[in-house]
Structure formats: C-alpha cells, structure tokens
C-alpha cells in the first residue's frame, strides 16, 4: 500500500461522521478460521446443500449437527486478530457506527464490538425448531441430537441457511446504516451472497466513500473507491491508526 494512498484514506476516515462496515470470512482467516470459497474454503470441500439448508436438516439432522460440531471445534480456540480489535476501537471513537458481519464465529463480539449485526447468525447460539427460543450454547461438542430445555423440541444452529430468509429487522438496520454512512469499509468478503452483496451499491448510491480490504479483487472492487490489497489483520489496524481526536 502506498503511503500517500493510505494517508488520503486515513484523512477520509478521520473526517467521516458515520461509518458502516461489512465483514466476511476473510477477516477471520487471519485468526485461523477457513473461508468458504478460498482454496481450502469450506464450500470447496463440502456441499452446502447437504449441510447448510433446511432440507438437509430435515433429512439428516445428525449429519448437520456433526458438521456444526466440527466447525465449533475448529472455532472454539480461535481468538480475534488485530483487525477485529481495530474495528472495536473505531466504534468507541465514533457516534455513528455500525458493523455488519456475515461471520457466525462471534469473534467481533469477543473483540469488543457492540454496535454489531450478525446477519447470518451465530454458531454459539441454538434455536428451538418448535418454540423458536434462541439460547446460547458453547458446548464443544454439543450433544447430538440437542433438545430444548423448555419444550423438548429439536434444536438447530441459530444460523441462516441457504434458501432461508434473513431476520428482517437486521436487514433493515443494515440497509439504513449503509444508506446513511459517509464511509464504508468492506473487509474480507467475496461479495457474492445477498443481501450483503448489494450493500456496496447501496452505500455508493448514497454517496459514501467505499474502501475495500481484501487479499484479492472481488465482485465489489469495481464499485469501491479504493481497494487495499492485503491481509485484513495487517491492513485494517494500519488504516485505522489515524488520530480522530
């Protein structure tokens, strides 16, 4: 990254009144959690339709839970990295800030982010298929099959699967944040999955300055005003070092 380019973007961030951030699997790749579509990505080795759809769960809830237990094990000992912490720090310095993540690993919250929307759910939460109650469950492994303490209904991961509708209030809040921001950061997402994929256009339509951080170009890169190529854990802290006081 050129120093001049970095400085220009840092000035924009320092002047921004409202910042909205979209993150994807790439930000947690630096914590050791595999992405979905990278070389060793989860969707290269597993078929999403066998594991992450309501039909798959109906067909074989054991198989789906076994896969989530494997992912729970994979994530359980992972820690937030410098990019997660830099975003939590930025939030504390701004009045108007929203962080929208597609990640289900919970690392943004561990790093201290509070104005956080977990658009695709959270792997450490379970939801009853009968009474819909959502509860936290950090068991690794979780007992298979898990049942609801209240009504004994079958529990499922509190994750939005392919073919399912996202929680509408979260989508609305996210859309408002991207419409209303003057600066958007897009970090470590391939920009393929909707509605997150449309948030860059939404921000651009409302005249926001969009900065993308990724190790490679993505579907969003053409629309972004600046693309910073590099690992999130290196680039994000460097970018957000600017003194806003």
> Could you give the residue numbers annotated as active site?
120
The whole-angstrom separation of Cα 237 and Cα 2 is: 15
Distance CA 228, CA 75 (A): 27
Indicate which single residue of 12, 38, 69, 167 sits in contact with ligand OAD (rule: CB under 6 A).
Answer: 38
**Contact between residue 27 and residue 83 where contact means Cβ atoms under 8 Å apart:** yes
Site string for ligand OAD, 196-235 (x = CB under 6 A): ------------------xxx-x------------xx---
Nearer to ligand OAD, 36 or 57 (CB): 36
Q: Does 28 bind ligand OAD (CB under 6 A)?
A: no
* Interaction of residue 106 with ligand OAD, rule CB under 6 A: no
Q: What x-and-dash track marks residues 170-199 binding ligand OAD by CB under 6 A?
A: ------------------xxx-xx------
Please measure the distance between the N-terminal and C-terminal CA atoms of the chain and give it in whole angstroms: 25
Q: What's the closest the beta carbon of residue 151 comes to ligand OAD, in angstroms?
A: 26
> At closest approach, how far in Å is the CB of 188 from ligand OAD?
3
- Kindly give, in sequence order, each residue whose CB lies less than 8 Å from that of residue 45, ignoring residues fewer than 6 positions away: none
**Residue (of 12, 25, 178, 177) closest to 104 by Cα position:** 25
**Shorter beta-carbon distance to ligand OAD: residue 84 or 183:** 84
Min dist CB 12 to ligand OAD, Å, is 20
Peptide bond connecting 195 to the previous residue in cis, omega within 30 degrees of 0? yes
Q: Is-contact 108 84, C-beta < 8 A?
A: yes
Size of site (CB under 6 A) for ligand OAD: 25
At 153, which helix (H) or strand (E)?
Answer: none
Nearer to ligand OAD, 32 or 141 (CB): 32
Task: Report if residue 157 touches ligand OAD, rule: CB under 6 A.
Answer: no
Question: What whole-number distance in Å separates Cα of residue 245 and Cα of residue 241?
Answer: 12
- Contact stretch for ligand OAD (CB under 6 A) within 30-38, 63-71, 90-98, 203-211: 30-38
Which H helix or E strand runs over 158? strand 155-159
- Establish whether the linkage from the previous residue to 128 is cis, with ω within 30° of 0: no
Residues near ligand OAD, by CB under 6 A: 24-26, 29-30, 35-38, 41, 52, 102, 120, 160, 188-190, 192-193, 214-216, 218, 231-232
């Amino acid at each position: 990254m050129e120093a001049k380019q970095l400085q220009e973007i840092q000035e924009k961030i320092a002047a921004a009144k409202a910042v909205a951030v979209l993150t994807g699997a790439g930000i947690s790749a630096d914590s050791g959690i595999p992405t979905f579509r990278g070389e060793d990505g989860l969707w290269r080795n597993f078929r999403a339709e066998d594991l992450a759809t309501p039909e798959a769960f109906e067909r074989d809830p054991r198989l789906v839970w076994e896969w989530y237990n494997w992912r729970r094990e994979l994530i359980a000992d992972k820690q937030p990295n410098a990019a997660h912490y830099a975003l939590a720090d930025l939030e504390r310095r701004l009045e108007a800030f929203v962080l929208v993540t597609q990640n289900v690993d919970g690392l943004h919250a561990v790093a201290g982010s509070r104005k956080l929307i977990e658009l695709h759910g959270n792997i450490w939460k379970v939801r009853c298929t009968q009474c819909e109650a959502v509860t936290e469950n950090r068991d690794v492994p979780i007992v298979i099959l898990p049942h609801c303490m209240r009504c004994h209904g079958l529990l499922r991961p509190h994750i939005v699967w392919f073919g399912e509708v996202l929680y509408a209030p979260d989508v609305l809040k996210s859309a408002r944040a991207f419409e209303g921001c003057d600066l958007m950061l897009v970090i470590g997402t391939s920009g393929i999955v909707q509605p997150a994929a449309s948030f860059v256009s939404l921000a651009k339509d409302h005249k926001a300055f969009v900065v993308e951080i990724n190790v490679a170009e993505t579907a969003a890169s053409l629309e972004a005003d600046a693309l910073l190529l590099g690992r999130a854990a290196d680039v994000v802290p460097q970018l957000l070092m600017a003194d806003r006081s």
